[in-house]
Amino acid sequence: MLRLAPAITLVMLLGPIVAGLLGTLGPAFGYLPVLGANTVSLDPWRELLSHSGFSSALALTIVSGFGATVISLALCIALCATSAGSRGFERLQRALPPLLSTPHVAIAIGFAFLIAPSGFFARAFSPWATGWDRPPGFATVNDVYGLSLIAGLVLKETAYLALMTIAATGQVAMRASMDAAAALGYSPSRAFIAVVAPRIYAQIRLPVYAALAYSLSNVEMALILGPGNPPTLAVLAARWFAGYDLAQYFPAAAAATLQFAVVLTGVGVWRLMEIPVGAIHRRWVMRGRRRGFMEPALAATAGLGKLSVTLAFASIAILALWSLAFRWRFPDFLPETWSLAIWAQHLGSVARLAGVTALIATVSTLIALTLTLACLENEQRRAVRVGRGALWALYIPLLVPQIAFLFGVQTLLVRLGFDGSMGAVIWAHLIFVLPYVFLSLADPYRALDPRFARSAAALGASPSRIFFTVKLPMLLKSLGVSAAIGFSVSVALYLPTLFTGAGRVSTLTTEAVTLSSGGDRRVIAVYAFIQAALPLVVYAAALVAPAILYRNRRGLR
């Protein structure tokens, strides 16, 4: 059974993606037998290309996707470079996990509340400094250039990449390299860029690609922060899929397939750009300059990075504030009247949705943990060396745009009569939860000192007994962290719930996105705040549990 674990895992993970991609590719070329379309044609593409906003939508997608990733990576590197080796590094390490566990949707909604023309920042400076007794007449969210969308993505991706970078520093002997560079007269931040950053980049390459893929293809952030007419390519596809005119499925499928091509090409282009950037970096290192404009530039960029982290936290805080307001008119800095009425009114519905959300997240995380542990244990018992291929396979769900395969999955589910069931939703969540659980658990699992297992075996314990009584208890902390990550990934999922849930299964996330198209900021704030709080609570529990369970075993806390 155990030796089948990797195969089962791969099928669970990649089966729906492959089937879904094919199920989307067909209609993209006019083939969808259930609608009586049996011939292959290029009409869907013609329709897509002749859509009046198509070229702007494509440009917006590319600019916002690349823009957000380049900026996030720059902020992340600057943050790490300026703090590496100092106490700031540990502060960063502690501050970022809560942001990672906060869903994109909650950050996007809170961020919009901050920067909107009638948002918190405009209120803070109005009318005394700006002279505005009414909100200014220009777009600071949903702007046609996608700037607010880029900024929103940056808040989230910077935290993600910075955490990945911090995790990677353990594997590249950062301290020793930086000490050596310092002995040669390099400043700490310059030393980081010269000798640490290239090796770290090799480690975080896949997370960077995942961030790029997400930024190019996400729907939920683009719905909340992006422009409406035209929207990004992924939103355009989602909009057409949702229309009642089934003829729209064909250009929608073409747009979804194009989205897939955009991400593939995008990652390819990024990979190619690594070559000249690497060459420039080498020449720069060879020149061996010890002082220059780099230090102030890095410090300034790191300042922006800190601003991004602060804004992300402020986005959550503003949700709490709005949820407690009753009357809060522009340009009042704080609400005129406060009330718990909105909470009281929505408590029942919020609790029900939180229950469904937590159930889906818990079950998908437990399945992911089981599969992951089975794979890892199989690997250790059979002494398998895991190659690069397995790592790429795990990253496929994070690289393939959701919109490109979920439509195919949906038509398949409808055919099987399985749509709108909890099972379907949980499976769809598992596809995204599993990679994160696996990636976060694999290193601690493989790093566990093999002598513990060997001692137990020498005392006559069976492999399963060793697994359950030695390995699992020793890994409790890592298991908790992995579970919390899996849980937060599930809570944040929008499109997979929407496409497989058939409207029957709704979560805090789908509800928050639906509400965000309405206008009552107080109600939106209640749902978004709970959506942000749920994974945080689980994360905190994962940190606290080992400390309580192992209060008398210092090494395991």
Partner 1 sequence: MSLAITGAIAAEERPWSEIVDAARGQTVYWNAWGGDDKTNAFIEWAGAEVSRSYGVTISHVKLTDTAEAVSRVVAEKAAGRESGGSVDLIWINGPNFFAMKDQGLLYGPFVEALPNYALVDEEGKPSNVVDFTIPVEGYAAPWRVAQIAFVYDSARVERGDLPGSMAAMVGWAAANPGRLTHPNARNFLGATFLKQALYELVEDEAVLQEPATDENFEEVTSPLWHWYDTLRPHLWRGGADFPNSSSDLDRLLDDGEIEIAITFNPATAALLSESGLLPESARVYFLEEGTIGNTSFVAIPFNAANKEGAMVVANFLMSPQAQARAQVPTVLGAFTVLDLDRLDESERAAFETSSDHPAMPSPAEIPPVQLEPHPSWMTRIVEAWEARTAR
Q: Which of 43, 53, 366, 444 binds partner 1 (CB under 8 A)?
A: 53
**Smallest distance, partner 1 to C-beta of residue 35, A:** 5
Contact 220, 513 (CB under 8 A): yes
Considering only residues 232 to 291 of the shown chain, the ones binding partner 1 according to CB under 8 A are: 241-246
Binding mask 407-446 for partner 1 (x = CB under 8 A): ---xx--xx-x-xx--------------------------
**Smallest distance, partner 1 to C-beta of residue 356, A:** 11
Coil, strand, or helix at residue 127? coil
What is the sign, positive or negative, of the torsion defined by CA atoms of 482, 488, 492, 497?
positive
Residues 6 or more apart in contact with residue 136 via CB below 8 angstroms? 117, 122, 130
Joined tokens for residue 269: 């282009």
Check binding of 35 to partner 1 (CB under 8 A): yes
Of residues 55 and 310, the one with the C-beta less far from partner 1: 55
Contact 9, 434 (CB under 8 A): yes
**Smallest distance, partner 1 to C-beta of residue 447, A:** 46
Of residues 377 and 419, the one with the C-beta less far from partner 1: 419
> Angle formed by the axes of helices 104-115 and 508-516, to 10°?
30
Residue (of 59, 109, 105) closest to 232 by Cα position: 59
Of residues 100 and 122, the one with the C-beta less far from partner 1: 122
Check binding of 125 to partner 1 (CB under 8 A): no
**Smallest distance, partner 1 to C-beta of residue 415, A:** 5
**Which spans in 102-232 are helix H?**
104-115, 120-124, 147-169, 174-183, 188-191, 197-217, 220-225
Of residues 157 and 511, the one with the C-beta less far from partner 1: 511
Residues 6 or more apart in contact with residue 108 via CB below 8 angstroms? 152, 220, 221, 224, 225
Check binding of 39 to partner 1 (CB under 8 A): no
**Smallest distance, partner 1 to C-beta of residue 259, A:** 19
Joined tokens for residue 126: 């109005």
Residue span binding partner 1 (CB under 8 A) among the ranges 66-74, 258-266, 367-375, 500-508: 500-508
Q: Which of 520, 537, 544, 557 binds partner 1 (CB under 8 A)?
A: 520
Q: Which of 4, 42, 144, 472 binds partner 1 (CB under 8 A)?
A: 144
d(CA 261, CA 485): 29
Q: Which of 169, 225, 521, 528 binds partner 1 (CB under 8 A)?
A: 521
**Smallest distance, partner 1 to C-beta of residue 151, A:** 17
Q: Which of 3, 134, 446, 553 binds partner 1 (CB under 8 A)?
A: 134
Contact 99, 162 (CB under 8 A): no
Residues binding partner 1: what is the number (CB under 8 A)? 56
Peptide bond into 230 cis (omega under 30): yes
State CA 152 to chain mean position distance: 12
Contact 375, 438 (CB under 8 A): yes
Residue (of 478, 409, 403) closest to 23 by Cα position: 409
Joined tokens for residue 144: 């046609």
Binding mask 293-322 for partner 1 (x = CB under 8 A): ------------------------------
d(CA 156, CA 172): 25
Check binding of 511 to partner 1 (CB under 8 A): yes
Residues in contact with partner 1 by the rule CB under 8 A = 34-35, 52-53, 56, 117-118, 133-135, 137-139, 142, 144, 227-230, 241-246, 326-327, 329-330, 337, 339, 345, 348-349, 410-411, 414-415, 417, 419-420, 502-504, 506, 511, 513-515, 517-523
